[in-house]
Chain A
């Protein structure tokens, strides 16, 4: 034993024990795992929440000094970004200007034209301010070119000089241009972007206050114009700034101004996430989700697929969180952008292990205990899991030695992530899996119990004559279809999703939780000054504020000092702080009489202190980004604002008027301004509507993704797989062969040709003519009727209850054909027969190949057979050049015509087997005792098809004639009392015969020329007999009086398949590949479709659809009412012939040594059951669905009995 082997064993054993542990104590282990996840994630709380909102830090102005680059550990209250000099110091000069007193001779434009005009003088003052030979030019932030993409802003924004912006930039800071501008509003608004915008606009940048507060519009209520002059300083000179402040205050004093001036605010900006960076990120996330989707789709055969998929995703995600948490705990602060590397980490860690574990566990034998299943599944995969983990660790180790910091960090994370992922897989996922498996078994148990209780009690002994009647069938003409027991087991997937959503109100809850989280994050990071904004909103909307204002508007100047706004928003002002010593009294005296009159209009409140907070939080980044200066991960310092109050006389306003200003329309009514404010409301509403539509579309897309109506088109996962190339994944794992072990019924030495069943018994007949009767429940062989007809030999092993055979020998003589119409035997057996060729190539159940072949006991492939027949024109030469038939030597001579003819058709009802032979003889056998009860040799042409309904047998012959027989039972007198009176019509629908009965079979009617050509198909149901023939027609007969009701013409080829059921649905398929649906009551054609290239080989209907298979190996599913093809399933070559419908939504098809179960609603392959080890090359030729949800199929000389309930339970 090598080291490797030993290691492998040890690992396997360890995993086995671990699996036992996990499955034994699921709840404690899950609790423990959750606790450890939470513990490991705890350090994450220290990390800042992701968000792009800026962060603020306030310091005093007086003792300000530029922070050093080195981090100072002692100052804990200092944020760690507060290092080094800021990008710029922002000094804002807040100007409030108003024309006062206002009189009615002024036009609306006067509200802002002259106040705006004063900006040039203030600008001049600022530019020319010098303090001890320091000028603004030396201190301000020098900017160069604008970015190349901003050509249209070149005229407005400064270039190659100080970054100094003001509304004057609209007119290149030139007074003459301003004066010559006929329409100021147009100039201001021509740069505004159209439509909705979220980031800072040019108007915001230049005015420096939110657009609403500027007062630059025609309908302003307050008639106060507010704007700022923004100066960006590269270095901070306290004395220069102080002198500038003093100078401006001195020039334009602000009465009752109480703005605080002692705080400067440092604003740190997070990294910007632009659209350009978002696109690759979004792409990787899309790929990630596709990966997760395609991976979890592979989870199969568990109780709750979605639950396990969720558990898998939770495993991966929490392992990543754990790794980040652990790394943070040990001081490895993540410098990488977590959102970017996250998808790659998920891809590296992968979901593979989880899927492999699931597959391995569900492929363990179902009958084991759950604990053992988990343990076995784990230990099966232990070696590959360990190997993969070692490989991944090796790769990561190699990556670690690249010594690239980013890669090293990634590797470190990946290692921790891998280890924690392994831990979670082993503890969390395994336990969840064990719980799931246990739930599934419980569900199985619950479902099986009532199913078994509902079934008839089993027969006491297999050889007792059958007392229990077969399950009652509905009367022939009722249209109601008996509901299949498992129809409701599986709702369509989308319905289940909808039900689930409706039941749990998941969508609402998710939206609610999401909203709460979003608001929480918003408040936490406070990106746009939300708190101040809210506070402002509250103060504005207080009932005393804005609401009382409009009535006073027109008369506001009449009440000096009595305006409610001043008493509310501005405190009763104390005396302004005494001005510095060099105040110029002259300027102050210029407006002594104006100021008191208009003072109510210009107020300074605390909200003006930091007016920049009400700007968009992208205001500063976008201003700097125009000059290719990024603020990401850097900060700016905002100095306290300098207030400037300007009062203008009406005369001044009139003087600065442009000639065109008076042409403006008079101020419209309040209504329009209301309309304007309402417009934003409409915008918001439109945005909400748009978002709603997008949400609906998104949900729709999600729905399409989650519930693809693929109908088997993307056939890779669903495709039929051969046994030979079972897909193996990289772990060498192949899916389980089958969950269902089919029951093999062996005994025939030759290929089975005919198969008949009534639900309880199963009769099969092979090429040499042996008939075997099986118990359809247990698979026991009950009777063997050997080829030599009248004698019966005991079979090898399954006859233990058989009573002596001597009596039966005598019985054989007893029940010799009673009414035997002796017709002169024809010299040639097949003289009157039309050509056999078209008959032979059809491989449907009841018309086996030619007698010659079957009696020779030679297994010819269909191709050889066909070619041979076509080559030889004479049917008498159809005997193959094969060794003579191996005949038992002890054949009694009186049975000629019986033993040398093969069985072509067989039917089973009650305990009577009707066989039609190639010699034209009809025989009735007792299925249980194996004795010949009656035979009829009225016809000489071979019986190609039989139908056995009630007490009638319909035989279709090769020459196109149709014979109706009646089975009459003459009972011994003693038995009459419970059998009822003997008679044709009074027999119970499912006759049961005791061995004492004398059974006779009478030819009641023979339709000589039912068809011009051989009858290929014969089906009987609902009191009708339907025949299909080579002559392209379908005929419908009434069973009672053998009267031909309709001759249905519509096919352009021989009929190859017919379906009729209790609901009088008749469908026929022909050699031309067409399928016709007929109305049996009227004989009209309901629909007619071209389905296949080549013959239609079989047809089945459900209540909603028609399923057809053809020689082109295609299975087509049609809508029954409209005749539209729903979808088709491509089969492999040569296996698309046999079909069966188990329930409304479960289709079973035969294949090469296997049967496949399909979901009819979607065309998904549910499961493929391989029938046996030796059945590799044999394809399933016939498939019979029994009432007890078993299917019987024959392949070669073996029968296979597959019980389906387990499949049905695995479905959901």
Chain B
């Protein structure tokens, strides 16, 4: 379990894939890249869901409208996903309480599906008022945490990041970078923190699972 023996000494001939995977920095980079891609992808898809809420029918050149909203949004989401996904396993290690609950890919997939479902509900389902929508989404988000995470550290980190992200969004909207159609919580929609929280939990779950996979190849 020493990095020094890897770097110095005789040339180690390994299979190219293995040697790449075993490298710790490489490992970290791969994880970050995967998380980044997951973040970008989710941002694109979920943004599309939000856009759909206002427009029912699209002009033929609809593909361009996917990217038309804001070019910086997917990279931001991707970076945030990479950071959060790396932060969760790191925090687990620091706190010394590894995440025990249901560490399987099927559960991660379930978690992602529920997250997309929450977004879907926020975009498609017509609620009576915004309070009801926000409360429902909050309950769903906490339910997501309880079903797939159940760790206090995960909850704490999720809440902190959700608050920070909400603040950042408020600032962005305040400065007029973009806006929401019917803001009901200062400048933004009140369900946004819930979505952020659910997203943090989901990405954290993915990050933990990825860390678990690559754990076996670390030295």
Contacts and interface: CB of A to CB of B under 8 A. Distances in A.
A287 B116 contact: yes
A1130 B52 CA distance: 48
Contacts of B124: 340, 406
Interface in A323-369: 340, 343-344, 347, 350-351
Interface in B25-53: 41, 44-46, 48-49, 51-52
B14 A343 contact: no
Contact of A1127 (B11, B15, B125, B143): B15
A730 B109 contact: no
Interface stretch (A235-243, A278-286, A444-452, A844-852): A278-286
Interface string A251-289: 000000000000000000000101111011001100110
Contacts of B120: 280, 284, 340, 344
Question: Which of B41, B57, B120, B127 is packed against the most chain A CB atoms within 10 Å?
Answer: B57
A277 B52 contact: yes
A287 B44 CA distance: 15
Nearest to B106: A294
B44 to A, nearest CB: 8
B57 A407 contact: no
B116 A291 contact: no
A406 B126 contact: yes
A729 B62 contact: no
A1072 B10 contact: yes
B56 interface: yes
A395 interface: yes
Interface string B96-136: 00001111111011101110110011001111100010001
B113 A284 contact: yes
Question: Which of B17, B106, B125, B136 is packed against the most chain A CB atoms within 10 Å?
Answer: B106
Nearest to B11: A1090
Contacts of B46: 280
Interface string A760-791: 00000000000000000000000000000000
B62 A275 contact: yes
Interface stretch (B73-81, B157-165, B191-199, B211-219): B211-219
Question: Which of B100, B103, B109, B143 is packed against the most chain A CB atoms within 10 Å?
Answer: B109
A294 B111 CA distance: 13
B102 A729 contact: yes
A715 interface: yes
A6 to B, nearest CB: 29
A1019 to B, nearest CB: 26
Given A404-B127, A714-B213, A729-B102, A1090 B113 contact: no
A727 interface: yes
Contacts of B143: 395
B18 interface: yes
B15 A283 contact: no
Given A272-B57, A395-B143, A404-B132, A344 B117 contact: yes
Interface in A1040-1079: 1072-1073
B212 to A, nearest CB: 6
A350 B113 contact: no
B106 A407 contact: no
B181 interface: no
A294 B104 contact: yes
B105 to A, nearest CB: 4
Nearest to A714: B213
A1093 interface: yes
Interface residues of B, number: 63
A625 B57 contact: yes
A423 B110 CA distance: 23
A149 B113 contact: no
Contacts of B41: 283
B52 A347 contact: no
B10 A287 contact: no
Nearest to A272: B57
A392 to B, nearest CB: 10
Nearest to B59: A149
Interface in B1-29: 1, 5-6, 9-15, 17-18, 21
A628 B57 contact: yes
Contacts of B180: none
B58 interface: yes
A905 to B, nearest CB: 32
B60 A199 contact: yes
A628 B58 CA distance: 8
A405 B127 CA distance: 8
B177 interface: no
A730 B146 CA distance: 12
Interface in A392-440: 395, 398, 402-407
Question: Which of B52, B63, B105 is packed against the most chain A CB atoms within 10 Å?
Answer: B105
Nearest to B101: A730
Contacts of B51: 276
A290 B109 CA distance: 7
Contacts of B121: 406-407
Nearest to A1073: B10
B128 A404 contact: yes
A632 B48 contact: no
A169 interface: no
Contacts of A395: 143
A283 B116 contact: yes
Contacts of B12: 1090, 1093
Given A280-B120, A283-B45, A1090-B10, A1128 B15 contact: yes
Nearest to A1088: B13
Nearest to A285: B113
B40 to A, nearest CB: 13
Contact of B66 (A276, A291, A715): A276
Contact of B217 (A290, A730, A1130): A1130
A275 B63 contact: yes
Given A716-B104, A1124-B15, A294 B45 contact: no
Question: Which of A277, A398, A719 is packed against the most chain B CB atoms within 10 Å?
Answer: A277
Contacts of B127: 404
A716 B213 contact: yes
A625 B103 contact: no
Contacts of B17: 713
B109 A715 contact: no
A294 B217 contact: no
Contacts of A347: 110, 113-114, 117
A276 B216 contact: no
Contacts of A155: none
A291 B15 contact: no
Question: Which of B17, B56, B132 is packed against the most chain A CB atoms within 10 Å?
Answer: B56
A1089 interface: yes
A447 to B, nearest CB: 32
A343 B110 CA distance: 10
A983 B132 CA distance: 99
B59 A625 contact: yes
A340 B61 CA distance: 23
A344 B216 contact: no
A1089 B11 CA distance: 11
B147 to A, nearest CB: 9
Contacts of A729: 102, 104
A276 B62 contact: yes
27 contacts: A199-B60, A276-B48, A276-B52, A277-B52, A279-B44, A280-B52, A283-B41, A283-B45, A284-B116, A287-B109, A287-B112, A294-B109, A297-B106, A298-B104, A347-B113, A347-B117, A404-B125, A404-B128, A407-B121, A621-B57, A628-B57, A715-B213, A715-B217, A716-B105, A1093-B12, A1127-B15, A1128-B14
Interface of B: 1, 5-6, 9-15, 17-18, 21, 41, 44-46, 48-49, 51-52, 56-66, 100-106, 108-110, 112-114, 116-117, 120-121, 124-128, 132, 136, 139, 143, 209, 212-213, 216-217
Q: Return the 3 tightest CB-CB contacts between A and B, nearest first.
A: A294-B106, A291-B109, A715-B216
Given A713-B18, A1090-B11, 9 more contacts: A280-B46, A280-B48, A294-B104, A298-B104, A402-B132, A403-B128, A625-B58, A716-B213, A1072-B10
